[in-house]
């Protein structure tokens, strides 16, 4: 009998894994403890050194005059001053968007999804991690509540030690590095290391959930190497990824139970894109190396080559197809930021993952052996592939 004591708790919404984001994005550092001019100077110096390899965002408040701030309105020379909701300006070397409305926290995070590192003026805004400056001009004794995850301590010119109240507040103060604010190279190296520690881990995904209409049988169950192909590809991915799963439909899931880790498609009737979206939803904090199960000539060396050349600052890392013309989406590393991009293309009526790769910031590679992209989709091609593999 079910009683109030043992009745299962009602869950109103579907439980979803959420990306590990801060106030603005995935990897952010607030700089605080010194006047705003010094923060901007340090942020710009770091950006100048790192912008060649990382897409960096800078978050600050508008330090305009008190009179201008009191007017609480846009510049009279803008469309916003005349009631426009949004103003887009092509500045030739960059593009600018001005909004009249305030962003809520969800819109804000979506806007920063394409960035690799966000530097924040911590005097005005919070961030998930902090760099603090010990500066008598801006003491931190009344801002200890903002120091939630201090990663680096900088000493302003003339300051020689960290105040005792900071050491007391920071339980891990002994392990936090301390540099002079003038040691730009050391600070830059630290920020690079901080970014690298936040590069998402790599998971593997065997794309095996298709209907195999042309083959007339499940392509994942075909054997090329004394075991079914989905098991073979899963083993290849398990050797180079943190975790590996088989993407499957509901019928296949019953057969996979207890044999291989699997992810049953939640995005139905979208082909391989449905499997990729399901994986990104399952773990939005990992990158996913997606491999089609109908590539029997794919080698572990080529997988290693793809991983070696992975660029986590891009939306994805992919090979050109066998014609060396378009990206091959079914042998691709999809970074976490790809989830929002793929959903955006879906909202615009495009279900093809190749379309998203063509029109996004991706790293494209030429595969060492284009023959490894040869897929097997029908019984005749299967017989030919078996004969060729046996001969080789």
Helix axes 338-347, 272-282, angle to 10 degrees: 130
Query: What is d(CA 125, CA 321) in angstroms, rounded to the nearest whole number?
Result: 45
HEC string for the chain: CCCCCCCCCCCCCCCCCCCCCCCCCCCEEEEECCCHHHHHHHHHHHHHHHCCCCCEEEECCCCCCHHHHHHCCCCCCCHHHHCCCEEEEECCCCEEEEECCCCCHHHHHHHCCCCCEEEEECCCCCCCCEEEEECCCCCCCCCHHHCCCEEEEEECCCCCCCCHHHHHHCCCHHHCCEEECCCHHHHHHHHHHHHHHCCCCEEEEEECCCCCCCCCCCHHHCECCCCEHHHHHHHHHHCCCCCEEEEECHHHHHHHCCCCCEEECCCCCCCHHHHHHHHHHHCCCCEEEEEECCCCCCCHHHHHHHHHCCCCCCCEEEEECCCCCCEEEEEEEECCCHHHHHHHHHHCCCCCHHHHHHCCCCEEECCCCHHHHCCCCCHHHHHHHHHHHHHC
Assess if CATH 3.90.550.10 describes domain 202-391: yes
**Any idea what the Cα angle at residue 360 is, between residues 372 and 106, rounded to 5°?**
125
Q: Which residue is listed with tokens 């060729």?
A: 388
Closest-CA residue to 275 (of 200, 348, 205, 204) = 205
Per-residue pLDDT at 37:
94
Per-residue pLDDT at 323:
86
Six token digits for residue 84: 């426009």
Per-residue pLDDT at 209:
63
Query: What is d(CA 176, CA 22) in angstroms, rounded to the nearest whole number?
Result: 20
What contacts 24+ positions apart, CB below 8 Å, involve 98-102? Answer: 98/74, 100/74
Burial readout 276-287 (b: 16 or more C-beta within 10 A, e: otherwise): bbbbbebbbbbb
Sign of the dihedral defined by the CA atoms of residues 140, 151, 120, 189, in that order: positive
Burial of 75 (C-beta count, 10 Å sphere; 0-12/13-18/19+) = exposed
Q: Where are the domains of the chain?
A: 28-61+80-197, 202-391
Taking CA atoms, 281 is separated from 208, 267, 336, in Å, by 18, 10, 9
Ranges of the chain whose pLDDT falls below 70: 1-13, 64-73, 209-213, 215-217
Closest-CA residue to 133 (of 262, 37, 259) = 37
Half-sphere exposure of 244 (CA within 13 A, CB side): 21
Per-residue pLDDT at 84:
79
Query: What is d(CA 249, CA 255) in angstroms, rounded to the nearest whole number?
Result: 10
Closest-CA residue to 337 (of 300, 306, 312, 358) = 312
Inter-residue contact 165 to 153 (CB < 8 Å): no
Assess if CATH 3.30.1490.190 describes domain 28-61+80-197: no
Query: What is d(CA 137, CA 152) in angstroms, rounded to the nearest whole number?
Result: 19
């Amino acid at each position: 009998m079910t009683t109030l004591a043992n009745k299962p708790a009602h869950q109103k919404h579907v439980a979803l894994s959420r990306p590990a984001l801060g106030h603005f994005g995935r990897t952010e550092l607030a700089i605080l403890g010194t006047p705003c001019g010094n923060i901007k100077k340090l942020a710009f110096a770091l950006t100048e050194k790192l912008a060649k390899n990382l897409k960096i965002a800078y978050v600050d408040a508008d330090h305009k005059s008190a009179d201008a701030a009191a007017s609480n309105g846009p510049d009279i020379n803008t469309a916003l001053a005349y009631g426009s909701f949004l103003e887009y300006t092509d500045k030739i070397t960059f593009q600018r968007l001005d909004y009249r409305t305030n962003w809520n926290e969800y819109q804000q995070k979506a806007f920063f999804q394409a960035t690799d590192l966000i530097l924040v003026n911590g005097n005005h805004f919070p961030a998930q991690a902090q760099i603090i400056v010990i500066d008598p001009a801006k003491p931190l004794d009344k801002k200890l509540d903002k120091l939630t995850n201090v990663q680096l301590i900088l000493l302003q010119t003339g300051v020689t030690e960290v105040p005792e109240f900071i050491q007391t507040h920071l339980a891990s103060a002994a392990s936090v590095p301390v540099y002079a604010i003038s040691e730009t190279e050391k600070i830059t190296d630290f920020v690079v290391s901080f970014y690298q520690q936040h590069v998402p881990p790599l998971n593997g995904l065997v794309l095996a959930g298709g209907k195999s209409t042309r083959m007339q049988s499940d392509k994942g169950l075909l054997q090329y190497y004394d075991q079914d192909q989905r098991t073979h590809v899963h083993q290849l991915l398990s050797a180079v990824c943190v975790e590996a799963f088989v993407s499957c439909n509901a019928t296949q899931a019953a057969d996979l139970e207890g044999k291989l880790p699997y992810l049953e498609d939640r995005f139905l009737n979208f082909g391989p894109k449905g499997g990729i979206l399901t994986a990104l939803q399952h773990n939005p904090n990992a990158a996913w190396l997606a491999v089609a199960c109908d590539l029997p000539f794919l080698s572990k060396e080529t997988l290693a080559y793809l991983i070696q050349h992975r660029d986590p600052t891009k939306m994805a890392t992919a090979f050109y197809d066998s014609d060396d013309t378009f990206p091959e989406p079914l042998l691709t590393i999809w970074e976490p930021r790809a989830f929002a991009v793929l959903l955006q293309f879906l909202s615009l009526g495009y279900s093809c993952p190749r379309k998203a790769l063509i029109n996004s910031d991706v790293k494209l590679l030429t595969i060492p052996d284009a023959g490894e992209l040869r897929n097997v989709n029908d019984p005749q091609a299967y017989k030919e592939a078996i004969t060729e593999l046996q001969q080789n």
